[in-house]
Amino acid sequence: MEKSGLSHIDDNNAPAMVNVGEKKVTHRSATARSIVVVSDEILALIEDGDIQSKKGPVFHTAIIAGTMAAKKTGELIPLCHPIGMDGCDIEIKVDHKEIVIRCTCSVTAKTGIEMEALTGASIAALTIYDMCKAMSHDIVIRETRLIAKTGGKKDFHHE
C-alpha cells in the first residue's frame, strides 16, 4: 500500500517494486520526445536526412541505440518491471536548430511502457550528442518528456 502517494515506496518508506500481479493485461503504448539543440555548424552537415560523422550515420545510429536501450529499461531503472515490448519506433526530424526525437513503444502487458519510451528517446539524444561532440560542444539536450500514453488506468496526451 502506498501511503506517500509514490508508487515505489512501501509502508515502511522503503523502495519497492510495484506488484502488478492483480492488474489486467491490456494493450499499452507510450510516446516520448527528446529535443536536441545543435549549432548551425552541425546542421550544415545534414545530407539526405542524416549527419555523416567519423563514427557513421548519426541519426541511424541513434535509432538503433534508442531501440536497444528501450529493450533494456528494466535493467537500467532499478524498480522498473522487465517487459517484452511488442514494438519500438523511433523517428528523428530536424526542425530549425532542433533535432526532435520521438520514441513510441507498445506492449500488451499488466504494466505500462512509459519508461521504455522515455529511455529510448533519452539514449537516442545522448547518442546524437556523443556522435556530434567532436564537431561542436554547443549541443543542448533540452527536453525529454512523455507526450502520450494509452492503456492502463488512464490515457495521457500532451504536445
15 secondary structure, DSSP code? B
Residue 11: name the closest of 19, 1, 21 by CA.
Answer: 1
Cell representation of residue 129: 550528442
Q: Report the C-alpha gap between 87 and 137 in whole angstroms.
A: 33
SS3 assignment for 52-75: EECCEEHHHHHHHHHHHHHHCHHH
C-alpha–C-alpha distance, residues 116 and 118, integer Å:
5
Residue with cell string 545534414: 46
Return the active site residues. Answer: 130
CA distances for 136 relative to 45, 107, 109, 145, 147, angstroms: 12, 38, 42, 25, 29
For residue 156, list its beta bridge partners.
149
